[in-house]
Structure 1
């Protein structure tokens, strides 16, 4: 048996099922739109993402899972057309408001999920998917990015499979199975004759900056799909004796994956 015999997309889907994590519905993201839009300004993650991009010859960009436009709006002044795609209406509204405030009249939005029909989604020179590729069918998602980018694709995918520091999981007594991480994407692309570039981005934990225990517990619950009463009590006990560094947790790591879709 060789690596060519392995269906990495099917393996990804089996791993995702074993992880037991379900995608948050649009309403969950709607409720976070305002806060995410405020935090997007001056984001070091966004700066590092954009520093790794090559915009030469590019006039248009499609941002899939755009949220409030963290990546797309930062790039919009350098492009002629920017399209943000998301399944959260509130995120798209936040993006439109931010674009209007900055005088960016060439920014459009599309209310679409990865699984939807993209027949009316413009093909652009560059397609971006920042922290938005934890989907049911990653093979289909990668194919959509490939089809909708004339020149280049840029995406980030989780390294290590955990959105919550394992030390926090241990503290509450519930270990969450790891999600399928970036290595599946590399192998799927390899099987399709695509040889991407790979680097890594570090981002502070989602728990960093929590103002008190209630804020901290809300952030943990968001990442872990909720906490019951006993888990909240265990977390409170751990929080009371933890150092600030322990509360913040380990940084999140993202694989930055990019490839050319056509000669430039």
Structure 2
């Protein structure tokens, strides 16, 4: 029997990510999805639950990797000393910039960049806390964790998929594609342990019970799950939704509810006594 210490968890992550039903999304994908993602991210309950786990302190400087349109950066800015918000999507960053202007927020530094960039060239620097919230869209997990850790002075937080997360396998399979959500949090946790990191684990939980104005609204809402959907696949999806949507309180919805979980893993940097630096 193979010992746990002999398992290459990083390689298993790579293999699982390669099996995903969706490819590694580039900035163009997120530019297109930015408005709808920003709207949903702020209304799902995830932010409140993540912030309750984070327990931000006023003196913190925070690095937010994959900040999107400010899902965490905006609420953090009203509490902590400063936030550096990094994202590869120019549309996401434009939305964040507009929100900062509207809310008169001045302590968020916005940086265009991704995991693969040289963060020294981007002037990222070191922060008290480094966060990667639902942004572990990487091929080499070990390298990403090491890079994230190198930018944290005191503590690291990351959140990642549990099971299928926000994906609905029924939608994907309805168009004729096979579904595989790729790697989830257990591979991340096991790799962290192999790296000598003893991570705390908490979970956020929300119920996906979205409602829609009509068939077109439903179609637009789930379209993101099907990468580069063909016209034939769209017809199949339209047929599936038309058959399954039910009327409730003047709106349309699917006849089932899904629970969406995210795992939040966090740890203090080596040499830090928990609690001493945030007293």
Note whether the superposition's TM-score is higher than 0.5.
Answer: yes
CA positional deviation for 1:8 = 0.6
Structure 1 match to 2:7: 6
**1:250 equivalenced with 2:258 (yes/no):** yes
Residue by residue over 1:8-43, the C-alpha shift from the partner in whole angstroms, topping out at 9 and shown as x without a partner, is: 111111221232532222122123334444455555
Q: Distance in 2 between matches of 1:201 and 1:143?
A: 24
Whether 2:94 is the aligned partner of 1:118: answer: no
User: Measured at CA, do residues 39 and 230 of structure 1 come closer, stay the same or move farther in structure 2, by a change above 3 Å?
Assistant: closer
- Tell me the equivalent position of 1:178: 181
SS at match of 1:13: helix
The structure with more helix, counted as a fraction of residues:
1
Specify the alignment match of 2:24 in structure 1. Answer: 23
Runs of 4 or more, structure 1, over 6 Å off, are none
Structure 2 distance, partners of 1:85, 1:255, is 21
Closer/same/farther in 2, CA of residues 253 and 6 from structure 1, 3 Å limit: same
Q: What residue number does 1:77 align with?
A: 78
**3-state DSSP of counterpart to 1:27:** helix
Contact 1:154–1:257 (8 Å) recurs in 2 = yes
**How many aligned residue pairs are there?**
263
> SS of the counterpart of 2:71?
coil
Partner of 1:102: 103
Unaligned runs of 5+ in 2: 247-251
| 1:61 Cα deviation after fit | 0.6
Deviation at 1:183, TM superposition (A): 0.9
Q: Distance in 2 between matches of 1:15 and 1:42?
A: 30
Deviates more, 1:10-19 or 1:240-249: 240-249
Task: Please give the residue correspondences for 1:42-191 in structure 2 after superposition, counting only pairs within 5 Å.
Answer: 43-56=44-57, 58-119=59-120, 120-161=123-164, 163-191=166-194
- Cα–Cα, structure 1 residues 164 and 59, in superposed 2: closer, same or farther, change >3 Å? closer
Q: Distance in 2 between matches of 1:142 and 1:230?
A: 40
Q: Is 1:114–1:141's contact at 8 Å kept on the other side of the alignment?
A: yes
**Counterpart-to-counterpart distance in 2, 1:167 and 1:21:** 15
Q: Is the 8 A contact 1:200 1:254 kept in 2?
A: yes
* 1:209 match: 211
